[in-house]
Amino acid sequence: MSNEARRAAVAALIRLAGSSDYRDRADAGRGLASLAETPETQAALLDLLLDTEDTFVTRVTAEALLRRQDRAGLAVVAAALGAADLNHADWMHTAVMDVFGVLASDRDAAVRECEALTKDTDDRIRHGAHQLIDMLAELNPILSHRETTPGIPVTG
């Protein structure tokens, strides 16, 4: 995608994020999550994660960001957690469980990324990264490393 097209997409999604309809805001969160590394998306994503009207927007935006399984997505969720009330934090926790509750290797990679984020210059990101690490540490993924490592037999 060209830079011009990317900027146009970000601008359109940011406009959609300002909609009064929660479904539009949820769609904007999903779309903006795929562009989370773009600086222009940060404020809109934080607003969507902390949506004051409907926590469905929080939930789907957090899940989309976490499914990226990269620093950009985790950093935005961490920043939101660093400013979230208990209700919003609970919905982000649900997204963490859904995204990282299957493969231990995905959970462990997320912990490593979050450990790096604990050294960020932004207080919200540092605080939120610690919260994410705690959430991830609680998980007991369905598939362990042994079960997902090729060549290693699984025994009962």
What are the tokens at 125? 């990101």
- What pLDDT sits at residue 15? 98
* CB-based burial label for 102 (10 Å; 0-12, 13-18, 19+): middle
SS3 assignment, position 48: helix
Q: Please, what is the average pLDDT of the chain? A: 93
* CATH number of the structural domain 3-145: 1.25.10
Residue of 135, 46, 134 whose CA lies nearest to 95: 135
What's the pTM value of the predicted model, to 2 decimals? 0.90
Q: How far apart are CA 134 and CA 31, in angstroms?
A: 28
- What pLDDT sits at residue 146? 58
SS3 assignment, position 43: helix
pLDDT < 50 positions in the chain = 149, 152-156
Sign of CA dihedral 15, 17, 18, 19: positive
Q: Give tens-digit pLDDT for 22-65.
A: 999 999 999 999 999 999 999 999 999 999 999 999 999 999 99
